[in-house]
Amino acid sequence: MATQDTSAPSLHGCLTAAIDVLRRTMDSLDPARVEAAVAAVTAALGANKALLVCGNGGSASDAQHITGELVGRFLKERRGLKAICLSSNAAVLTAWSNDYSYDSVFARQTEAYGEPGGVLLGISTSGNSRNVIAAFEVAKRLGMTTIAMTGEGGGKMADLSDILLDVPSRSTPLIQQVHICLYHYLCEQVEARLA
């Protein structure tokens, strides 16, 4: 008979930790930074410039989620918006990574799809994902606005971001939970302003 693993936190403990990091985010994240992100994305998409979004692992799923909501719809019927997930094209990801390097896979796509006036949103719980950092470097050269969605302090991405949205935690799952709240808010606001 299997024994129950009691080392894992209870449901109550998980929910309490999530509530705590949400509260700490509410206390520490300057609303002006969130508004700056909303304004930058709204301006780019309103001018038919691309929003490029990238991340690895769970953050790749978040990148797909964001672009899905913006190309499709979030809460309102409206035209599709030019949001491109750099983490989802299997042919590009595997061809470039195999022939060159996974460290430059998002940079190459940023070079292909990026343009002045566009936005690159990079998601990394550590803020230190080499391939996201490389994409930020290309985006800066192209005259794009860079938005970093990270964990506490922003890691190396902090210095390359025009707008830093960092969650005051070092726990990957908790950071990702707050990221969902932040990008749902971003999608809702962008959609309301462009509808």
Specify the number of domains making up the chain. Answer: 1
C-alpha closest to that of 22 among 164, 180, 147, 157: 180
User: For residue 181, is it within any domain?
Assistant: yes
What's the pTM value of the predicted model, to 2 decimals?
0.94
Residue range 16-70, pLDDT digits in tens:
999 999 999 999 999 999 999 999 999 999 999 999 999 999 999 999 999 999 9
User: For residue 72, is it within any domain?
Assistant: yes
Question: Can you tell me the distance from the alpha carbon of 64 to that of 84, in angstroms, rounded to the nearest whole number?
Answer: 8
Residue range 125-141, pLDDT digits in tens:
999 999 999 999 999 99
Domain CATH code at residue 152: 3.40.50.10490
User: What angle is formed at CA 147 by the lines to CA 145 and CA 151, rounded to 5 degrees?
Assistant: 160
Confidence at 75, pLDDT banded by 50, 70, 90: very high
Structure confidence at residue 46 (pLDDT): 98
Residue range 85-125, pLDDT digits in tens:
999 999 999 999 999 999 999 999 999 999 999 999 999 99
User: For residue 21, is it within any domain?
Assistant: no
Structure confidence at residue 6 (pLDDT): 58
User: For residue 63, is it within any domain?
Assistant: yes
User: For residue 10, is it within any domain?
Assistant: no
Q: Is the pLDDT of residue 1 over 50?
A: no
Domain that holds residue 49: 30-194
